Chains A and B, each alone.
Chain A
Amino acid sequence: MKQHISHEMGMHTEQLAGRTQQRFFSPEEEENFVYPGSFDVDFNKRTELDAGPLDAKQINLKLRELMSQGYGTIVLKNPGAKHGVAVGILNRLQLYIEGSLGYFGCGLIDGPNIRIKGRVGWSCGENMMAGTIIVEKNAGSTFGAALRGGDLVCLGDVGARTGIDMKGGTIIVGGRTGAFSGFMMQRGRMVVLGDAGKNLGDSMYDGTIYVGGKIADLGVDAVPGEMTDLDVAWLNRKLKLYGLETPNGVENMTKIVAGKKLWNYDNLEPSEKKIVL
């Protein structure tokens, strides 16, 4: 029964860490599976990298070089809000970024745990597959666009279209989020402790959004859902992981799910689809 509920909530895709692609293989294959471009690192091997004089490509190449040398804990200093930093990391890594990132920071990652002391620009964690990203300040728009797995956390406020097209994983926002958050969301969970802008969950296919503050309005086919004990337990656990809490208690958060009325076109015959589309 629990497994069924979990499946309904989309929780079967949840993975806090690790490499998501491994679970699609049998245990024997998993042992032998090597991700191209990934490295075996030692968390106890620590180093620092000054990003100040480097451009984004040089920073990313240097990170790869350090990981290839086995460094599992890297402190990146002076990122200077540069774009496309720390992308495409496909192995476990403890990465501490002391400063702010520009656009597309930490995108396409699968496994690392990243903590950012500053702010991030648009599309942080885009297409992230596993691992964690914690942003200590604010985030720009399209935070976690097309997220597939892992936990993406912003302790401050985020911009518009948070979790647009997300396909799994968890987004947690400590403050407020802008308009069209959860737009075309397909799976996964979004937790917003503050207010949510207009058109929340517009055209969402599936997945769950929890909001602690006020919701400006709901988008097309986004409807209130019933909070269950499982929701409350999951929220308590998740928020505790990141030292977050909502002033009114998680049981009083608003749960938003897909009304699934927009799925009607799936029931059409091919000839009917041609007419509709």
Chain B
Amino acid sequence: MCGIAGLIHRRKTGDIGREMTSMLQSLKHRGPDSTGFALYGKPKSDELVMRFKVAEQEEMNKGFDIHDQVKQRKAEVNRRLEELGAKIVEEEPATEYAFRYRMKYDGDRRKLADYIEDVDGAEILSLGHGLELIKDLGDAGRVANQYSLSSFSGTHAIGHTRMATESDVDIRSAHPYWAYPFADVSVVHNGQLTNYWNGRRALERRGHRFMSNCDSELIAVYLADKMEQGAELEDAMRDSIEELDGVFTYLVATSDSLGMAKDTMAAKPMVLYEGDDFIGLASEEVAIRSVFPHEINTFDPYEGEVRVWKSHA
């Protein structure tokens, strides 16, 4: 059991950091192992924001050398960025092992991602113009405090509280997943995919990389692959209903859109509030209520349903 949540302001920006923290904290009982946020701030077309880590949180408590290793790994990341022609505009340490870089880079993003992730312990959590992906161990309140998310302003967000059932309790296995190498595409998922390995092997043969053994990552890479071939987001999601096997409800976000898809058995929960200016979705209504305490109309999307909302902010 995991908890997922999503929100989108359709006409203006909002306090999405605070709102998503509140929603995910309400879903803590669905998964206390880790929490992740994909927040979409104001995009800058000439800049990329890269969120990455060079160690797992758990590693920081082990070994005498880890603190020096983290510094060395970060230095190596900087060297490789420079070598690829990326210009770092601003470096911001989120934690000792996780960082946020604003940078200018107009080269091949896949090449950049592969080269950076070749550094020992390094993983790019997100790379995009508006997307900032933050995930770590603990509940939403803890992660939001750790990464100072309460003041994050933007148009839309998705998030996840994880109960680890099929892979480890670490940042690597936490959601959301960035749809490498696509800028600004992220996914959260509640459920199990039963054709994970077949799907993964097929996508790996097409050149995609997987950073974890978590079945949810397959959805992100699957959608990225479809879009790389020219499919629109909604079409890619409709295909996923047919081609991904198992029970699932997932949320996907792009630079300006939020989408949800539910498997044909409707086996995993999702509650939807659809207002004129705000869309809220969550595994449980109590999460939406944490943002809208007054009485609102909510409903369950149906089996096989795919919905996409766009922000015009």
Contacts and interface: CB of A to CB of B under 8 A. Distances in A.
Interface stretch (A57-65, A78-86, A87-95, A252-260): A78-86
Closest 9 A/B residue pairs (Cβ): A159-B300, A160-B266, A81-B285, A179-B303, A138-B299, A81-B286, A81-B289, A140-B300, A178-B302
A70 interface: no
A160 B298 contact: no
A140 B269 contact: yes
Contact of B286 (A102, A159, A197): A102
A187 interface: no
Contacts of A197: 266, 302-303
Interface residues of B, number: 19
Main secondary structure of the interface of A (DSSP, over half): loop
B108 interface: no
Contacts of A156: 299
A103 B27 CA distance: 13
A137 B297 contact: yes
A83 B286 contact: yes
Contacts, number: 73
B269 A138 contact: no
B285 A100 contact: yes
Nearest to B298: A119
B266 A99 contact: no
A141 B284 CA distance: 12
8 contacts: A81-B289, A100-B285, A119-B297, A138-B297, A138-B299, A141-B269, A179-B266, A179-B302
A179 B264 contact: yes
Given A119-B297, A160-B265, A80 B289 contact: yes
B276 interface: no
A119 to B, nearest CB: 5
A121 interface: yes
B271 A140 contact: yes
Interface in A145-201: 156-161, 178-180, 197-198
Contacts of A82: 286
B282 to A, nearest CB: 10
A128 B141 CA distance: 37
Interface in B254-300: 264-267, 269, 271, 284-286, 288-289, 293, 295, 297-300
B284 A81 contact: yes
Given A119-B285, A138-B297, A161-B266, 14 more contacts: A81-B284, A100-B285, A100-B289, A102-B284, A102-B286, A138-B299, A141-B269, A157-B300, A159-B300, A160-B265, A160-B267, A160-B302, A178-B266, A197-B302
